[in-house]
Amino acid sequence: MGADQNIMWQDAVASALEWWQDAGIGALADESPRDWFAAPAPPPAVKRVVADQPVAPVVVPLPTTLDAFLAWRTGPDAPEAGWTGGTPIAAQGSPGAELMVLVDTPERDDVDRLLDGAAGRLFDRMLAAIGHNRDTVYLATLCTVRPLAGRIAPEVEERLAEIARHHVALVAPKRLLILGNATSRALLAMDVARARGSLRRVNHFPAIDEQRTEAVASFHPRLLLERPAQKAEAWRDLQMLIGGTGS
């Protein structure tokens, strides 16, 4: 009986050793003594990697003098500087004129002068009808470069509108003639169809109520070439512009 028990114990020990070996335990004791009653060592510190926080874009203030603004407007830092399709065309005429005219972009035929093609010839006749010419007005655009598509992309419209409002504030004209949908949205926050028919007011500085310019929105000459029937309505807009009263 005793011999049989020894064999059973030997088998049990061998089986246990084999299981521990399979489990990856190569020794029954550590090579160095261990204090089993000591508090466990703190876990190693984990280095936390914090993702980069988005950096707010640097907003460069617009030039505060007209000369500096005009130089910047056609320089390498202007929004249109990287556009293809043409060279920038600066505002033209006298900044001291009582009447400022704002259009959306240069025309396809414009090279050195704004409104230099068929639309420009109609524009000249519109000015003559109210006693003006290009020397007595200040003509500017929302875009200094004509976009390849011929119209302002929605993603840059807000920025160009901000720049146009700043431009008007620096010039501070007595009257402002706004021609075209994009221009009307930029200055009056509404299309020409809604804006025309009333004398509007553009506030240069919201905190100073007196700093305002009376504005009239009307059709762009290029639209009048396509739709001659609208010329009668455009003529009423021009009369309102020089009369200074509207509904």
Q: What is the mean pLDDT of the chain?
A: 83
Which residue would you say has higher pLDDT here, 220 or 12?
Answer: 220
Of 145, 67, 44, 133, the residue nearest 97 (C-alpha): 133
- Alpha-carbon distance 247 to 212, whole Å? 18
* pLDDT at residue 55 is higher than 50: no
Q: What is the pLDDT averaged over residues 96-119?
A: 94
Of 163, 217, 172, the residue nearest 190 (C-alpha): 217
Q: What is the pLDDT averaged over residues 165-187?
A: 95
> Could you report the per-residue pLDDT of 236-245, keeping only the tens digit for each?
999 999 986 4
Which residues are registered as beta bridge partners of 177? 101, 216
Q: Which residues are within 8 A (CB) of 151 and not within 5 positions of it... i.e. 6 or more apart?
A: 104, 105, 182
Report the range out of 70-84, 132-146, 203-217 with the highest average pLDDT. 132-146
- Residue 166, judged by CB atoms within 10 A of its CB (0-12, 13-18, 19+), counts as middle
pLDDT at 50: 46
Whether the CB-CB separation of 168 and 212 falls below 8 Å is answered with no
> Could you report the per-residue pLDDT of 27-42, keeping only the tens digit for each?
555 556 666 566 666 7
Question: What's the Cα-to-Cα distance from 209 to each of 62, 122, 142, rounded to whole Å?
Answer: 22, 35, 24
Band (pLDDT 50/70/90 cuts) for residue 57 is: very low
b/e burial code for range 215-245 (CB count within 10 A of at least 16 → b): bbbbbbbbbbeeeeeebeebeebbebbeeee
> Could you report the per-residue pLDDT of 216-233, keeping only the tens digit for each?
999 999 999 999 999 999
E-strand stretches of the chain: 92-93, 99-103, 137-141, 175-179, 200-203, 212-218
Whether the CB-CB separation of 186 and 164 falls below 8 Å is answered with yes
pLDDT at 51: 46
- Alpha-carbon distance 233 to 240, whole Å? 11
pTM of the model: 0.74
Please give the single-letter amino acid code of residue 202.
Answer: V
Band (pLDDT 50/70/90 cuts) for residue 24 is: low
